[in-house]
A = this chain, B = another copy of it.
């Protein structure tokens, strides 16, 4: 569980995204138990309420579910799981396009840049 926070974006949003990334890349199995609110808070050194808020949001979106007073679990709905990856990608791409379009960069220059930077070893 490794999350580095930036301070401009709400922490709970970053936590949600982190979980989505895990789900999208298959690091979480459907139905898999996730850390309790309090345990997550401990691990990430955040307030339990912030963890709660993140989980609440994920629950509303159907990404996780809670039965009784047991730690929540990743949804078993494969359809939802499959959607997560696409949504993350689309959001990232759209946001990138929106930020780059005003600068009028030739698409080939862009592609070349991305290919090079994306392929570079893990930075």
Residues of chain A having any CB pair with chain B under 8 Å:
8-9, 21, 24-25, 85, 88-89, 92-97, 99-105, 107, 110-111, 113-115, 117-119, 122
Name the B residues within 8 Å of A89 (CB-CB): 100, 103, 105, 110, 113
For this chain, the copies found in one complex come to 2
Supplied contacts A8-B8, A107-B114, A111-B111, 15 more A-B pairs, CB within 8 Å:
A8-B9, A21-B103, A88-B103, A89-B110, A92-B99, A92-B100, A93-B100, A93-B114, A95-B96, A96-B96, A96-B99, A97-B117, A100-B118, A107-B115, A111-B115
Shortest 4 CB-CB distances between A and B: which pairs? A96-B96, A21-B102, A92-B99, A92-B100
